[in-house]
Structure 1
Amino acid sequence: MKATDLAAMAATSLRGVLGLVAATLCALALGAHAANSDDEGPGFARLGPPEAPVKLFYEEKGRGSPVLLVHGFGASTYTWRNIAPGLAENHRVIAVDLKGFGQSDKPFDERYSVFDQAELLKQLIIDNNLRDLTLVGHSYGGGVVLVLALDEDPRLTGRISKLVLLDTIAYPQDVPVFFRILDTPFLSHVGVRMVPPSVQTRIALRIAYLDNSKIDDEEVEMYAAPLRTAAGKHAIIHSARQIIPEGLEELSERYRSIAAPTLIAWCDHDRIVPLDVGLKLRRTLPDAELKIIEGCGHMPQEEQPEATLDLIQGFLND
């Protein structure tokens, strides 16, 4: 075979290899584009000031107008597992672990009030350009939602369309002994550090549930996991100390200015945040309705997920 023929064959082979590489890269690029165009799944959002950023874990699924799920004290995105899929049938559902909870960062600082949490979520809303947004907050998370609804930052103007408040903190109130212990410096450190996390969690869930037979081992373990670290213990103590934050009474006087349509849903046997709080909210908020969920204590999304989902879906479809 002549040298010219060998050269031609080599050139042809090289072109073939290069063509295959190009085709492969093109396919990978298209695949990457398809993956990036689908935002579903878990991730972390880097929020807060550049000098002290906080990573918040979130889970996202579905398409449509956005719904941001904000859990309560000691909980995480796990608490929405029974209602998020149903909401995602018609909405873009984003469930987030608040600072100090679940898989989010737990820095050794004291910025764990509803005001601190709302500031981080405000940045999440703006960074993701969320509009026509429904905020769903449970308990402590409901307090965060109320702060967001009252935020006068012009960057939030027109973004929040509806609120859903589930057994939410809203006014100064007596708190269960569990929280009073965590608010006592010596007792809080002894209790959180000496009592096994699974025991602490089961006690808390027994206070929050009406039917304790619905508390299973998986749930206890999921909620107890963050308490197995020093950072998780720090976060739970400092969140509990600010569960009823300073300035709440002054803040509550502004609730009348919240114009967004609001669903207030309350368990009929809540021993943590009494129904009187829900009744007062209904009288105060200009466009609010109150629905009672039967057969639950303080966590309707856990004890009565179907009834809770039906109420939220009905409200969103109005």
Structure 2
Amino acid sequence: MPLAEIPLCVWRKRSRTFVFQGQTIRYWVAGQGEPLLLIHGFPTASWDWHYLWQPLAQRYRVIACDMLGFGDSAKPLNHRYSLLEQADLQQALLSHLQVEQPVHVLAHDYGDSVAQELLARHYEARIVVASCVFLNGGLFPETHRPLLMQKLLLSPLGWLLGRAFSREALVKGFQRIFGPQTQPSESELDDFWSLVDSNRGPRIMHKLITYIPERRVQRERWVAAMQRGDVPLRVVDGAVDPISGVHMVERYRELIPDADTVVLPGIGHYPQIEAPVQVLEHYLAFRTHLVLPPRKVACS
């Protein structure tokens, strides 16, 4: 049975705001129970989770924000954007909501890197992460295959290309990274573009894209955290994603002990949009396994 969507206009009306380092941040909260932090990707926003929002809110206290520079949150022009700062933002949001319990994390794309930073901070005793599930993202710089537009945004002409970024450019990129049978509708593309374009977003895209070299700087620290094994991890990955598809999963299996991975055939870079029922199923199975009682061992 397909999951019900939340129209963007309805999603926006449900947002709340708080101030992070002088900037207005949009966030959403629903449900009760263990806190589950949803972290979105580049270049979109928390609406990416709208298919999963209600089913997850029936079980957990779900929390999400449009990160600084994304969606309907502030997009300051003269600002140095950083994945580390976005992790600070997530922790500030949890503090604002007075979340004191260990937090579960479900992340995608750019959000995977923020989640990796939170995982590293867990081992530095700066936050308590209960579990983490990664959807398609550049967990390892050596397997990340950026689109041409992303490469150009990193170039000296990136500022110019960013300002010229249009709905047409977004459509071309998304057509490449979504699965061949799970392409976004025109209505979805309109909504994705509305979130990118909000608060004059294209003018800062060349600043946001600096997350790609920042991943390389943090690579050893983040991979070491994933290899520790104390925090349960799972990867749910769209196989045909040209950026972070099955080739990334293969590297994950090489580097992470007892790797827990799920590959979704025919699905591209946005599994939570392309195959939300499957993502929900695999996420809930992961969480169920976490709370199973210990097996009884018979002794003679």
The bucket for the TM-score relative to the shorter chain is 0.7 to 0.9
Distance in 2 separating the partners of 1:221 and 1:259: 42
Secondary structure, aligned partner of 1:68: strand
From the superposition, tell whether residues 129 and 295 of structure 1 become closer, same or farther in structure 2 (CA, over 3 Å). Answer: same
Name 2:221's counterpart in structure 1: 251
* 2:160 paired with 1:160: no
Distance in 2 separating the partners of 1:113 and 1:155: 18
Name 1:278's counterpart in structure 2: 249
Q: CA RMSD in A?
A: 2.3
* 2:190 paired with 1:190: no
Following superposition, the deviation at residue 271 of structure 1 comes to: 0.2
From the superposition, tell whether residues 155 and 41 of structure 1 become closer, same or farther in structure 2 (CA, over 3 Å). Answer: farther
Output aligned runs, 1:1-318, within 5 Å.
41-48=14-21, 53-130=22-99, 131-151=101-121, 154-156=125-127, 159-173=128-142, 174-186=145-157, 188-195=158-165, 197-211=166-180, 214-228=183-197, 231-245=200-214, 246-255=216-225, 256-257=227-228, 259-286=230-257, 288-318=259-289
Secondary structure, aligned partner of 2:211: coil
Long gaps (5+) in structure 1: 1-39
Identity between Structure 1 and Structure 2 (%): 23
Name 2:4's counterpart in structure 1: none
Map Cα deviations across residues 248-286 of structure 1 (whole Å, 9 max, x no partner): 333244232352101111111010114232233344345
**Is the 1:44–1:56 Cα contact (8 Å) retained in structure 2?**
yes
* AA aligned opposite 2:275: Q
**Is the 1:260–1:287 Cα contact (8 Å) retained in structure 2?**
no
From the superposition, tell whether residues 227 and 292 of structure 1 become closer, same or farther in structure 2 (CA, over 3 Å). Answer: closer
**Is the 1:259–1:285 Cα contact (8 Å) retained in structure 2?**
no
Map Cα deviations across residues 225-252 of structure 1 (whole Å, 9 max, x no partner): 2444674123322111323415133324
From the superposition, tell whether residues 260 and 190 of structure 1 become closer, same or farther in structure 2 (CA, over 3 Å). Answer: same
* AA aligned opposite 1:270: D
Counting matched residue pairs gives 271
* AA aligned opposite 2:179: L
* AA aligned opposite 2:192: Y
Bigger relative contact order (CA 8 A; separation at least 6): 2
Distance in 1 separating the partners of 2:193 and 2:60: 30
The two structures have a TM-score, normalised by structure 2, of 0.82
Runs of 4+ in 1 over 3 A off after TM superposition: 152-155, 226-231, 282-288
* AA aligned opposite 2:261: L
Following superposition, the deviation at residue 287 of structure 1 comes to: 5.9
**Is the 1:268–1:275 Cα contact (8 Å) retained in structure 2?**
yes
Distance in 2 separating the partners of 1:291 and 1:213: 18
* AA aligned opposite 1:314: A
Secondary structure, aligned partner of 2:170: helix
From the superposition, tell whether residues 288 and 55 of structure 1 become closer, same or farther in structure 2 (CA, over 3 Å). Answer: farther
Secondary structure, aligned partner of 1:236: helix
Secondary structure, aligned partner of 1:254: helix
Distance in 2 separating the partners of 1:294 and 1:212: 11
Long gaps (5+) in structure 2: 1-12, 290-300
* AA aligned opposite 1:289: D
Distance in 2 separating the partners of 1:257 and 1:148: 14
Based on CA coordinates, which of the two structures has the bigger radius of gyration?
Answer: 1
**Is the 1:61–1:92 Cα contact (8 Å) retained in structure 2?**
yes
Name 2:9's counterpart in structure 1: none
